Amino acid sequence: MRVRGFPVALAALALAFGVTACTSQVGGQANPSSTTSVSTAPESNSAGSSRFADLDSCVLLDQALAGQGFPKSEPTVARSKESCRATKAATVDTPGSDVALSLQVGQNYRDNVGNPSQASEGNVNGRPAVEEREPQHSSGQCGVWMEVKPNSRALILMSASTDTASACKQVEEIAAKVEPLLPKN
């Protein structure tokens, strides 16, 4: 199986991070619930940093990925204080995948959608979110941006050695596990 876009995805995971049951569009054509989005995030600021003060993105990601064959997550090279990733190597029986979680203060969940024509708005467990297919214009990528009020977000990005629809299904499942671990809106 050919793994496409992993180097690009790893860079994107460090800088950026979709949604289930999407119904309306964000800056482009609305897509079914299997869509995602990527965005760049600003540095955390002190005004809202307490929103995630007691949360560790690596701990949250490990909880969401439990039992799925991923190794323990690790901080990303860029934004290591707010972002973590885990990479599962491809085997004969399973496709490889890379997933990242970033907890970003001072960013709205609708900000910085990288591929607006492939983004749609919806929710994850009732929490407002945006999902974008192929945020870096590469097959096998999908992302979810979830709102964390007052002005923060949690981003999840998946890059997989499968098709985009499968990557979106996987990121939606992970987002549904991360959402209850986030501060309530």
Q: What's the pTM value of the predicted model, to 2 decimals?
A: 0.73
pLDDT digits (tens, 9 = 90+) for 42-69: 434 444 446 787 889 999 999 999 998 8
Q: How confident is the model at residue 137 (pLDDT cuts 50, 70, 90)?
A: confident
CA atoms in the 13 A half-sphere facing the CB of 24? 7
Q: How far apart are CA 185 and CA 162, in angstroms?
A: 33
Residue 91 — φ and ψ, nearest 5°? -125, 180
Alpha helical stretches, state H, the chain: 6-15, 57-65, 164-178
Residue that the structure tokens 């439990």 belong to: 66
What phi and psi values does residue 88 have, to the nearest 5 degrees?
-110, 120
pLDDT of amino acid 25: 42
CB-based contacts of 166, cutoff 8 Å, min separation 6: 95, 140, 160
* Angle, in degrees to the nearest 10, between helices 164-178 and 57-65: 120
Tokens of 42: 């600003």
Tens-place pLDDT, residues 1-51: 333 343 334 334 333 433 333 434 444 333 333 333 333 334 344 444 467
Between the alpha carbon of residue 44 and those of residues 30, 37, 47, 105, 151, the distances in Å are: 30, 20, 9, 5, 11
